[in-house]
Amino acid sequence: MSTTTDLTLADLDLFAGGAPWGVFDELRATPGLHYSTEEAPNSGFWSATRYHDIVRILRDTETFTSTKFTNLEEVDPAMQDQRRSLLETDGLRHRALRRMLQGEFTPQAVAKYETFLRGITAKTLDAALAKKEFDFVEEVSADFPIRVLARLLGVPDSDTGQLIEWGNRMVGNTDPEHADVLIGSADSDEYKHVPFRSPAAIEVYEYGKHLAAERRGKGGTDLITLLADGVPSDGQPLSEHEFNTNFLLLVVAGNETTRHTITHSMKNLLDNPSQLEILRNDPSLIPWAVEEFLRYASPVYHFRRTATKDVEFSDTQISEGEKVVVWFASGNRDSAIFDDPYRFDVTRNPNEHMSFGRGGPHMCLGNALARIELRIMFEDLLTRDVTLERAGDLDYLRSNFVHGIKRMPVRVA
């Protein structure tokens, strides 16, 4: 059975205080997909909130394509090619591009950064803890993931501050604090061809172009050289648009997501002292705990697909061209899969969460990198002789795309 619901997940106010878990629970309780009608033309969408429905949609790219874009925004068809990255490409080209990049992101490939990661983790934590009372986001989570990406991309350390600012302005741009151009407002045509409709995206393109010009033909081993000089297995080098959009994707995809997972994980450990104790007593459990950190945080709320034909799916009649949104966060709380899903359990096993997607061709390319970052951060933090406690209210990002925490005051107890 499908329903039209008043609980519109496009309402950003619903997300202003964190995830609307109660709404997800209510939607999951009724089988089928649920339609949200929106006022703006072409903005209504189906929501898949059950784990099994989400997995089926992610795997069936013939029926549910990513090529019509993967967020709720309606992208002008004339602008789609300019804005298309790996995420919005399906089929052979997607496979060829992904194959070209994936060697850099396997567990074995990212393991070679272990010493580097331990070094910046220790430095970050030394500096933060010396302050005794600090904002965990600003001092610990915010800079760490982008410094790692900068290393992979081969971006100079001195430019990472600028990358952080661009990332905030793009991904968080539904939050008034970060907004350059609010989606849905009367923004200028100039920005309609760039992701997030954000002027910051244009600045990132310019910056990428400058780095590519520097690296092209020099035989470097960084990701920028790979994007600039690499030839995917279909024999077609990246077009200028593909270079721009994929450079930008690599800058943003692993930045906010990892940042917010680190913050949520700390918050969840502080809120659940018995779970913190388990890991303090046996840090060898941390690699498994990371899976629960990811499930419980659900840092990416959703992605969108578009139906390529009229289809009956899970008792719901979906028409060609309609948007279908998969709510990973809801799937991660589905009691059909997770025993007592609201229990934060660092020993949960099995834990087949969908924070990186689940099983489809777009499954997060950077998942091994994110996992090693989280493991090393908490292996260091939880084996120090120091106890943190919360020192003020949390501030959530106003976004239905990223489940983000903007501020989390803490102090050394």
The residue among 227 and 369 lying less far from ligand HEM, judged by its C-beta, is 369
Q: CA-CA distance, 221 to 243, in Å (whole number)? A: 17
Q: Is 303 among the residues that bind ligand HEM (CB under 6 A)?
A: yes
Q: CA-CA distance, 390 to 128, in Å (whole number)? A: 14
Q: Which stretch binds ligand HEM (CB under 6 A): 74-82, 122-130, 206-214, 250-258?
A: 250-258
In DSSP terms, which residues pair with 306 in a beta bridge? 65, 323
Q: CA-CA distance, 153 to 276, in Å (whole number)? A: 34
Task: Determine whether 385 is exposed, middle or buried from the number of CB atoms within 10 Å of its CB (0-12, 13-18, 19+).
Answer: exposed
Is the Cβ–Cβ distance between 224 and 215 less than 8 Å? yes
**Nearest residue by C-beta to ligand HEM?**
366
Q: Is 404 among the residues that bind ligand HEM (CB under 6 A)?
A: no
The two three-digit tokens of residue 257, written as one number: 């997501």
Nearest-5° angle of CA 246, CA 252, CA 255? 140
How many residues belong to the site for ligand HEM (CB under 6 A)?
A: 26
The residue among 58 and 238 lying less far from ligand HEM, judged by its C-beta, is 58
- We find the least distance from the C-beta atom of residue 195 to ligand HEM, in angstroms, to be 13
Q: Which position among 357, 396, 397, 408 is part of the footprint of ligand HEM (CB under 6 A)?
A: 357
Q: Which stretch binds ligand HEM (CB under 6 A): 16-24, 73-81, 254-262, 395-403?
A: 254-262
Q: Which stretch binds ligand HEM (CB under 6 A): 127-135, 265-273, 298-306, 334-342?
A: 298-306
Give the residue ranges of DSSP H helices in 172-283.
199-215, 223-229, 240-253, 256-271, 273-281
Contacts of 235 (CB under 8 A, 6+ apart): none
Residues 39-98 that bind ligand HEM (CB under 6 A): 58, 86-87, 98
Q: Which position among 20, 167, 331, 366 is part of the footprint of ligand HEM (CB under 6 A)?
A: 366
Q: Is 362 among the residues that bind ligand HEM (CB under 6 A)?
A: yes
Site for ligand HEM, rule CB under 6 A? 58, 86-87, 98, 249-250, 253-254, 257-258, 261, 299-300, 303, 328, 355-357, 360, 362-366, 369-370
